[in-house]
């Protein structure tokens, strides 16, 4: 059997950073918890658990210690809840996700209709929308984009791991839905590189 590795593969910067921050937290005194699994990799999650970093689902599941926010990010209410409980917070939100969160917030603050391109149930998309007061319209595909009403002003923010190919075709549709379209192409470069490498391999 021949195994061919893609030119670009492995953890992206944001995931690698989050895992490193979780490992550092494991070396500190006291218990550490990740809010949800740190990444979608059961082997890594298991190794961290062996070091004393346990995944939990809610802030209320943590009595004391360190709470690690994973690369997908969370909404502002989570930070407030952690502060009220006196937890030490390690924020491993990917910087690219942070930018998407702030871009979404700015779209709402400017009085524009916010469209978020991404998977409706993905934790990153949920976190982006929470920074926009949950006012975003989440679009997963071209069919959903076609159903949107025409609006005066529209701002578009994108899940960092969204398909660049799908992004282009959806933007073509959204350009007909508003005369004032502001697009924040928040797809991470690492995602684009890996998608291109997958196409090259195929």
Q: Annotated catalytic sites, by residue?
A: 124
Q: Return all residues near 190 (Cβ < 8 A) that are at least 6 apart.
A: 8, 12, 13, 14
- The CA distance from 166 to 43, in Å, is 31
Looking only at the bridges linking them, the beta strands covering 113-117 and 32-35 are: unpaired
- The CA distance from 80 to 95, in Å, is 20
Q: Which two tokens stand for residue 11?
A: 């953890």
Q: Centre a 10 Å sphere on the Cβ of residue 38 and count the other Cβ atoms it contains.
A: 24
Give the torsion sign (CA, 120, 101, 23, 195): positive
Q: Are 122 and 97 in contact (CB under 8 A)?
A: no
Q: Which two tokens stand for residue 125?
A: 């998309």
- The CA distance from 55 to 62, in Å, is 10
């Amino acid at each position: 059997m021949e195994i061919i590795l893609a030119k670009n593969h492995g953890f992206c910067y944001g995931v690698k950073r989050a895992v490193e921050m979780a490992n550092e937290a494991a070396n500190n005194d006291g218990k550490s918890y990740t809010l949800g699994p740190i990444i979608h990799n059961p082997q890594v999650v298991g190794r961290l658990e062996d070091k004393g970093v346990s995944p939990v689902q809610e802030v209320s599941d943590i009595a004391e210690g360190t709470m690690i926010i994973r690369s997908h990010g969370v909404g502002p209410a989570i930070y407030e809840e952690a502060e009220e409980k006196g937890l030490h917070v390690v924020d491993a939100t990917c910087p690219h996700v942070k930018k998407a969160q702030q871009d979404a917030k700015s779209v709402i603050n400017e009085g524009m209709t916010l469209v978020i391109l991404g998977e409706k149930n993905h934790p990153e998309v949920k976190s982006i929308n929470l920074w926009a007061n949950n006012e975003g319209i989440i679009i997963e595909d071209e069919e959903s984009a076609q159903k949107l009403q025409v609006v005066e002003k529209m701002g578009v923010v994108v899940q960092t791991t969204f398909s660049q190919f799908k992004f282009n075709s959806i933007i073509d549709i959204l350009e007909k839905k508003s005369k004032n379209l502001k697009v924040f192409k928040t797809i991470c470069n690492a995602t684009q590189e890996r998608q291109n490498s997958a196409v090259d391999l195929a």
